[in-house]
Amino acid sequence: MLKNFFYPLLEDPYRKKDLNKAIKVIRTGKITIGKYTKNFENKFTKKIKTKFSLMVNSGSSANLLALQCLINPYRKKRLKKGDSVLIPAVCWSTSLWPIIQSGLKPVFVDIDPLTLNIDIKDLIKKINKKTKALMLVHVLGNCTNMSQLMKILKKNKIILIEDTCESLGSKYKNKYLGTFGEFSSFSFYSSHQISSGEGGMITCRNNEDYEILKALRAHGWSRGLKNEKKIAKENKHLDPRFIFFNSGFNLRPTDISASIGLSQFNDLNTFISLRNKNRDLIVNSLRKNKIVNNNFYFIEANKNVKPSWFGIPIFIKNKYNRKKIIKNIEKRGIETRPIISGNFIRQPSIRKYKLVQGIKFLNSDIVNNHGFFIGLPTKKINNIFVNKIIKTFEKSI
C-alpha cells in the first residue's frame, strides 16, 4: 500500500484463532492438501447445500476447472470447440479467459445498472443455436432475477456456471447463490467474505463431473478417484501410484489455507451480519447528507435477494470528472477501486485478441465511467468513523 488510508479496501482479515489453526497445521509437518482440506469441503457442501465441493488454490482456478470439465472427453455431454458461452461485460479476467482457453467463444451481454448484474433482456437477444453455456457473475453480493433466468436457461438447454466469487452467503429466495448452476466457483482471497489467504472452491451437481474435477485438479492423476483400482487393473503395465488418467493441472490448495478458511467459514453468518449492518449504517448516513445524496447513487439489493455484501458499490450521478473525484476521495483517506474491472470490453486484452468489434455495451459503460466501490469492514464501526466518511465524500465534489 503506497499510502495510509483511514478506510482501506482491505482490513486485516485474520483473527488470532484463524492463525492458530494454521500454526497447528504447520507444526504437524504435513502442510500439503490433506484432512483439513477434506473437512472444509465437507462442511462447505453441508452448509451451502450443494452436492459436491472441491477446494482449489483460487476462485480463478475454480472457473478454469469448470470450463475444462465441460470440454473433457470423459464427460458424456461435453461442449465442442467453437460453442458459445454467454458472459456479462462487467466481469473479471479469469471469468472470461477460461472460456477462450477451453476453445470456446465468449459472447458478451450487457448488464442492468440498477443491480450491476446481467441484463436478462440483452441475454435473450444473444442466444442462438451455438449458445451452450452461461458464465454468470454474481456482482458484489447481488444477483439478477434467478427465477426468470433459470426458466430461460432450461428452455434453451443452456448450462449455467455461477461465478460466486464475490457473493458467498448471498441468497435468492432463501436459496444460496452458487447452488443454481451445474458448476459454481467461490473465492477466499483476502478481501472476500471469508479468507484463506489464497484459495477457492468449485462445486458441482453430479458424480461424473466431480470425478473429472478431482483428476483435473491434480495432474490428471487417478489417485483418489472412485474407480482408481479399476484403472490400475486396466493398466497393469504402469505403476498404480502414477497413472495419469486424464489431462490436468496442479490447482490444489494447502492444508494451511484450508484450516484458515474453515475457521472463518464457521463464522460466516457472523461476518455477513456485521458487514451488512456496517453497510447499512454507512449508506444510510451518506444518504442523509444532502450534498452526498445529490451527487452519489448507492446500489441496493435486487428483489428477493438476501445479500452478503462484498463492498459498497457507488455511482457518481452527475457529469463530474470521475478520475478527479476518485482522486479527491483517496486523497482524504478512503481507498477505492473499479466495480470488478469496469466494462471488460474496454480492456486492452480484448482488442489484442479481437474478441469484440463495433458492439456497444451502454450500461456496462455507465459502470465503467461512473461507478466505483469502497470496502466493507467486518469489524463493528462507530459514528466517529462514519462521520469521517461523510465529510470525505462531501468535500470530494
Q: Provide the annotated active-site residues.
A: 192
Distance CA 29, CA 32 (A): 9
Distance CA 393, CA 334 (A): 9
DSSP codes joined into one string, 233-279: HHTTTS-TTS-B-S---B---BHHHHHHHHHHHTTHHHHHHHHHHHH
Distance CA 145, CA 132 (A): 20
Q: Among 2, 50, 26, 58, which Cα is nearest to 261's? A: 58
Cell numbers describing residue 203: 462445486
48-73 per-residue burial string, b: 16 or more CB within 10 A, e: under 16? bebebbbbbbbbbbbbbbbbbbbbbe
Q: Among 8, 12, 2, which Cα is nearest to 333's? A: 8
Return phi, psi of residue 351, to 5°.
-65, -40
* DSSP state letter for 357: -
* DSSP H or E run through 202: strand 200-204
Distance CA 194, CA 57 (A): 14
Residue 332 C-alpha from the chain's centroid:
30
Q: Among 120, 112, 109, 175, which Cα is nearest to 139's? A: 112
Q: Among 301, 275, 394, which Cα is nearest to 10's? A: 275
Distance CA 220, CA 67 (A): 15
Distance CA 199, CA 201 (A): 7
